[in-house]
RNA sequence: GUGGGUGUAGCUCAGUUGGUUAGAGUCCCAGAUUGUGAUUCUGGUUGUCGUCGGUUCGAGUCCGAUUACCCACCCCA
């Protein structure tokens, strides 16, 4: 038969790519743990209703779904938040709140692949459940800033744009717009479409020219002062106060340099209730690195009690593209502490000595069949070994070994303990 | 779902106005070198020229269709 190809929008992870993937996951995980988030996981597929309940039926065309043998309608998870909400609802009041959780789920979306966007990918998710406090947002946003810096990015390499659904809602009410569900999708595309289309599409949702004009100007606001001058209602002021506090706290946390007010950020779906944010590389040459917001009514929508929550997702694809472009990815080459070789192909001795080094915690490899020494050296070099240890060198001291440091070509002999010190 | 670009060796690519047996580099394998790798030299393997059809004495090359990938649009949790 002909070998079937790699499915559309998926990736193979040969060892070289897997090392890069692990590098990213390690930094993600360490950063999340450093901020006190606990890791959780869920199944890779869920009942379809978990997603339609939150986002409506349209979502079905954009995910992988199937009927299982028990005629259950199943979907491969396209995002993690509904699973998280399910976990929260199931445990009910027994979870001590607030709590901070993270996960690195493998996600699936049925859509056409393009740069920065695949059908199967990974996404770091950080969420804080059980508090309406704006300091939860502050915690998440500083975690983002710190972890991006862990990757070697500078604060001026990325920007975290912050907006607020609460503020936008209040302002819409202020200018007399009540039917907001149709308005949001248009607002979300505001910067992508022509000005006249923006006006005509909003007119189609029932907005007057004057309302649209005000809204357009409002969303152009670049500073808190600018917004302050445009709003008047108590609701708007309360929403803006929240943003003020958030910015102040982020300054104190050290993440302030990357944060900007950007009211053009709306985000597609309807369940966000407060702060929304998106992270971009400077220059916005790529898709969003991360995005998220507050979803205080999600659990309620999915059949549980009302539990406030806020969180974000950061995909591996765009991030890896960005790090690659900036030269911040590590070498994808294998590395080993020691390679154990033998002049006489004494395989048993090789296994014995390799075992001794491994017991000390070092990574060790050796030939798997009798091979002449030149080949063994080639293998050691190809596998990134730092030191080759010869098990049967004639110049070795009693109980010790001859060795060669590959980077310098230095030959020597010493005891196991002395050789162990060479690795670094 | 819509539009554009590209398909030649495992990888990166060359291939003349259509002409005979399709090339280079790299990778891989072996040897030079039986107690020493990465640098050097020598030799070797690798192809349904994406697929199907058309034009032609003759197609990797021209035409049509199709398919895959890439890029953009739609959408973006």
Closest nucleotide to A409's CA, by C1' atom? B37
Neighbour tally for A208: CB within 10 Å: 13
Half-sphere exposure of A287 (CA within 13 A, CB side): 15
Q: Does domain A336-422 have CATH number 1.10.10.10?
A: no
Closest nucleotide to A392's CA, by C1' atom? B35
Question: Cβ contacts of residue A226 below 8 Å, gap of 6+?
Answer: none
Closest nucleotide to A375's CA, by C1' atom? B37
Q: Which of strand B's nucleotides are less than 7 A from any protein C-beta?
A: 1-2, 28, 30, 33-38, 68-77
Segments of A119-213 assigned E as strands: 120-129, 158-164
Rounded Cα distance between A148 and A136, Å, is 19
Which residue gives the smallest C-alpha to C1' distance to B77? A79
Neighbour tally for A408: CB within 10 Å: 7
Closest by CA position to A259, among listed A222, A295, A287, A220: A222
| Distance in angstroms: CA A381, C1' B34 | 21
| Distance in angstroms: CA A124, C1' B68 | 31
pLDDT of residue A1: 64
Segments of A97-194 assigned E as strands: 99-103, 106-108, 120-129, 158-164
Residue environment code for A251-268, b if the CB has 16+ CB neighbours within 10 A, otherwise e: eebebbebbebbbbbbbe
**Phi first, then psi: what are they for A101, rounded to 5°?**
-125, 155
Judge whether A26 and A146 are in contact, CB under 8 Å.
no
Closest by CA position to A20, among listed A281, A334, A291, A385: A334
Question: Cβ contacts of residue A58 below 8 Å, gap of 6+?
Answer: none
Query: Tokens 């990134």 sit at which residue?
Result: A384
pLDDT of residue A424: 59
Q: Does domain A15-325 have CATH number 1.10.3720.10?
A: no
Domain parsing of chain A, residue ranges:
15-325, 336-422
pLDDT of residue A339: 96
Q: Which residues, in sequence order, are bridge partners of residue A276?
A: A163, A293
The ipTM (two decimal places) reads 0.85
pLDDT of residue A403: 94
Residue environment code for A22-39, b if the CB has 16+ CB neighbours within 10 A, otherwise e: ebbeebbbebbeebebee
pLDDT of residue A76: 95
| Distance in angstroms: CA A96, C1' B63 | 71
For residue range A222-241, what is the model confidence (pLDDT) as tens digits? 999 999 999 999 999 999 99
Rounded Cα distance between A100 and A281, Å, is 26
| Distance in angstroms: CA A20, C1' B25 | 27
Neighbour tally for A317: CB within 10 Å: 19
pLDDT of residue A9: 87
Judge whether A186 and A202 are in contact, CB under 8 Å.
yes
**Phi first, then psi: what are they for A147, rounded to 5°?**
-70, -35
For chain A, give the number of residues.
Answer: 424
Rounded Cα distance between A75 and A63, Å, is 7
Rg of chain A (C-alpha set)? 28
Question: Cβ contacts of residue A49 below 8 Å, gap of 6+?
Answer: A73
Per-block mean pLDDT, blocks of 10 residues, chain A (424 long): 78 88 96 98 95 77 91 95 95 94 96 90 97 98 97 93 94 90 86 87 90 94 95 96 97 94 86 93 88 93 93 95 88 90 94 96 93 92 93 91 91 93 76
Closest nucleotide to A343's CA, by C1' atom? B35
Rounded Cα distance between A126 and A81, Å, is 10
């Amino acid at each position: 038969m002909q070998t079937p190809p790699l499915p559309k929008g998926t990736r193979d992870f040969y060892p070289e790519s897997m090392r890069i993937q692990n590098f990213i996951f390690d930094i993600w995980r360490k950063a999340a743990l450093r901020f006190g988030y606990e890791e959780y996981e869920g199944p890779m597929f869920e009942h379809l209703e978990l997603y339609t309940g939150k986002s409506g039926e349209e979502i079905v065309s954009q995910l992988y779904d199937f009927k299982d043998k028990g005629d259950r309608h199943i979907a491969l998870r396209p995002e993690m938040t509904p699973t998280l909400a399910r976990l929260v609802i199931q445990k009910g009041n027994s979870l001590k709140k607030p709590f901070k959780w993270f996960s690195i789920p493998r996600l699936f979306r049925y859509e056409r692949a393009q740069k920065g966007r695949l059908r199967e990918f990974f996404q770091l998710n950080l969420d804080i459940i059980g508090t309406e406090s704006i300091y939860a947002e502050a915690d998440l946003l500083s975690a983002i800033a710190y972890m991006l810096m862990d990757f070697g990015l500078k604060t001026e390499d990325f920007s975290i744009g912050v907006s607020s659904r609460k503020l936008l809602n209040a302002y819409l009410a202020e200018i007399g717009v009540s039917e907001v569900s149709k308005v949001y999708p248009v607002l979300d595309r505001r910067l992508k479409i022509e000005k006249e289309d923006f006006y005509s599409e909003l007119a189609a949702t029932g907005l007057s020219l004057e309302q649209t004009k005000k809204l357009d100007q409002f969303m152009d606001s670049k500073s808190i002062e600018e917004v302050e001058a445009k709003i008047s209602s108590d609701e708007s002021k309360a929403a803006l106060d929240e943003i003020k506090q958030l910015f102040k706290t982020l300054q104190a946390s050290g993440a302030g340099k990357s944060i900007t007010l950007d009211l053009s950020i709306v985000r597609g779906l309807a369940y966000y209730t407060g702060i929304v944010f998106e992270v971009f590389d400077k220059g916005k040459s790529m898709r969003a690195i991360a995005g998220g917001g507050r979803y205080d009514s999600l659990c309620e929508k999915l059949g549980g009690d009302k539990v406030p929550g806020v969180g974000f997702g950061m995909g591996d694809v765009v991030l890896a593209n960005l790090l690659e472009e900036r030269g911040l990815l590590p070498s994808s080459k294998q590395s080993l502490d020691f390679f154990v070789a033998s002049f006489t192909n004494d395989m048993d001795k090789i296994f014995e000595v390799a075992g001794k080094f491994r017991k000390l915690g070092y990574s060790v490899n050796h030939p798997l069949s009798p091979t002449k020494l030149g080949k063994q050296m080639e293998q050691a070099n190809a596998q990134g070994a730092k030191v080759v240890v010869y098990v049967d060198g004639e110049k070795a001291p009693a109980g010790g070994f001859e060795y060669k440091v590959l980077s310098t070509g230095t030959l020597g002999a010493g005891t196991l303990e002395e050789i162990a010190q060479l690795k670094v």
